Structure 1
Amino acid sequence: MVYEIKSIETLDKFAQSLIEEWGDKRIFALEGPMGAGKTTIINSICRHLQCMDNVSSPTFAIINVYRTKEQGNIYHFDLYRLKNADELLATGALEYFDSGSWCFIEWPEIADNLLPDDTVWIKIRVLEDDTRRLEVQLKAGNCQKTM
């Protein structure tokens, strides 16, 4: 599915739609250039999941944990500073991925082989007018299928 985000209101609708359409999935990988809005998108999704904590990029912490009213914990990863998959494994990430909790991953490229096949990938492209084009795909083995 492809979405175009032109405003905060559109982003809010996207977040709600994502939860409604992909809510049975728990791992979301956000891929896009620096400044594309990965953290902003995660913040909007977390608001719809009734997150009780401040959502911020875990660039230095690698993993932030947010509490929700009814959805359990949300785990927010920023893998930008990691050099390889071994560094990710050292964080205990697989336990989070297997927990059944919501996991949102920024800069997921080094984790590709570690993520389950039912990971939802959100590829972000910044267009000339600052619109964000989001392509939402389900990972299936080594290929990407648009749903």
Structure 2
Amino acid sequence: MDGMIQIYSPEEYEKVAEILLTTYKHIKLWLFDGPMGAGKTTFIRALMQKAGVKDVVSSPTFALVNEYERADGEPVYHLDCYRLSGIDEAIQAGIDEIVTSGKWCLIEWPKIIEPLLWGTALLITFEKIDNHRSVLTELKTYE
């Protein structure tokens, strides 16, 4: 399902989240890129709901990392790398261990930590266009 998706309503976030969860269930690294206010956190909330997370999902901008539990008991790490100044700060915060844990990681603003990423990731890029969001999905490989 690589390609462009148009989202016009909050309900469509949930539909797209369900499709992506089914299509990419084997992918553990999900990367979310796009400008502030483009819908990254809103989409992650829909994804978590579809994955059975019962907790209230909030942006980890100040905490850097929020941990949740899926319906199957597996942990989910939601990272927001916007405030990170560089790789050294990411390593000091333990982000290197989280992204290599093999657990489901949802990472907003991933570019700053790209050197820490490994394996295959799903990159989801958001763009705010007038009354809707444009969402581009692509698989990326990090070595």
Q: Which residue does the alignment assign to 1:95?
A: 97
Deviation at 1:141, TM superposition (A): 4.5
Deviation at 1:111, TM superposition (A): 1.0
Q: Which of the numbers 59, 74, 77 marks the counterpart of 1:75?
A: 77
Task: Describe the shift of the 1:44–1:84 C-alpha distance in structure 2 as closer, same or farther (beyond 3 A).
Answer: same
Letter in 2 for 1:34: M
Deviation at 1:87, TM superposition (A): 0.8
Segments of 4+ moved more than 4 angstroms: none
Gaps of 5+ in 1: 143-147
Q: Which of the numbers 54, 57, 60 marks the counterpart of 1:58?
A: 60
Q: Quick check: 2:117–2:142 contact (8 Å CA) kept in 1?
A: no
| Deviations 1:45-94, CA, capped at 9 Å, x for gaps | 00011002110001110000012220411100011111101111112122
Q: Quick check: 2:33–2:123 contact (8 Å CA) kept in 1?
A: yes
Letter in 1 for 2:53: C
Q: Quick one: distance in 2 between partners of 1:89 and 1:119?
A: 20
Q: Quick check: 1:49–1:71 contact (8 Å CA) kept in 2?
A: no
Q: Secondary structure at the match of 2:119?
A: coil
Letter in 1 for 2:9: S
Q: Quick one: distance in 1 between partners of 2:4 and 2:73?
A: 26
Q: Which residue does the alignment assign to 2:47?
A: 45
Letter in 1 for 2:84: L
Letter in 2 for 1:53: D
Q: Which residue does the alignment assign to 1:145?
A: none
| Deviations 1:94-143, CA, capped at 9 Å, x for gaps | 222222221111111101122123011111111122x111111111359x
Number of aligned residues: 141
Q: Secondary structure at the match of 1:118?
A: strand
Gaps of 5+ in 2: none
Q: Quick one: distance in 1 between partners of 2:102 and 2:20?
A: 17
